[in-house]
Amino acid sequence: MLLVLAPMNEYLARLIELRSIADIVLVFLVVYGVLKLLRGTRAAPMAAGLAVFASLYWLSVYARLVTLEFVLRGALIYVGFAIIVLFQNEIRQGLITFGNRFRLPFSRKRRGQFGASIYDEIVLAATTLASTKTGALIVIERNVGLKGIVDAGVRLDAELSYDLIVSIFNQASPLHDGAIIVRGDRIAAASCFLPLSLNPLLSKDLGTRHRAALGITEDSDAVAIVVSEETGLISFVRRGRIKRALDPTRLRAAIYKEIEGRNASRKGADPHATESAEAEEVASA
């Protein structure tokens, strides 16, 4: 009996070592982070499918189902490549999220003409464009550079302002078709064309602007503001998810929360803002 308990006692003694505890905690954090990234995306059912595949293979080995085991073993060779192809967006977003954890905790405050931040200029411009049902797409670059998209558009490198944004998206302007890229406190380029989201689960109500906004936020850590030309509704897009029908106050809060990591003050909101519909979130691929 003592010979049986000896290995167990040795295992328990090693388990309570500081190194073993740290090992278990790190594994837990990694698994938790992966599951958190998969939640709400199309990768979740795919991951469940892979789990079923693994369970089926284990069953074939355990029950000695030779033919099934032979077929599944041959398929295992391609599983690694399949994971990279199927989960490329999730892997990219995961690495971006991980990298963002190491951002510097301070940054220079960028002030605008109408408010405490340049983001107030964007909110005011989006509200003005929405009131006239003028379509617009504004992309705010963050840590992942958008140089390729900027180079393909019309380079401006102009100081960001309410007047310039409204002028660019005026229907009479030759630059109104496409997106503007905001880099820091400047508009890097206008008339930029973005990759469209290929998520098959998106609502059919979303047009090209919304799909372009979803596409750029799936491929980078940028955020986007969309003004619908058909309805005049304002949407905020981040990490392949879209919040629709935002009023100026909620749009400002969403920008501040995502960009600066804090809640925006309700002071300075547009006094003419009307009550908006409930925000809708659409999961991306």
Q: Which of 213, 220, 221 is nearest to 180 (CA)?
A: 213
Hey, what amino acid is at 182?
Answer: V
What's residue 13's pLDDT? 63
Does 111 fall in a domain? no
Query: Quick check: is 107 in a domain?
Result: no
Tell me how many domains the chain contains.
Answer: 2
Around Cβ 256, how many Cβ atoms within 10 Å?
19
Average of per-residue pLDDT across 48-55: 79
Contact 243, 236 (CB under 8 A): yes
Q: Is the pLDDT of residue 265 over 60?
A: no
Maximum C-alpha span of the chain: 89
Domain annotation covers residue 268: yes
Determine the average pLDDT of the residues in 114-129.
Answer: 81
> pLDDT tens-digit profile of 19-38?
777 878 888 887 777 776 66
Percent pLDDT > 90 in the chain is 20
Does 106 reside within a domain? no
- 180 φ, ψ to 5°? -105, 145
Indicate the Cα dihedral angle 199, 203, 205, 208, nearest 10°. Answer: -10
Domain boundary among 73, 100, 127: 100
Find the domain containing 44 and state its range: 2-100
**pLDDT per residue over 180-226, tens digit each?**
999 988 899 999 999 888 777 777 778 888 999 998 988 888 999 99
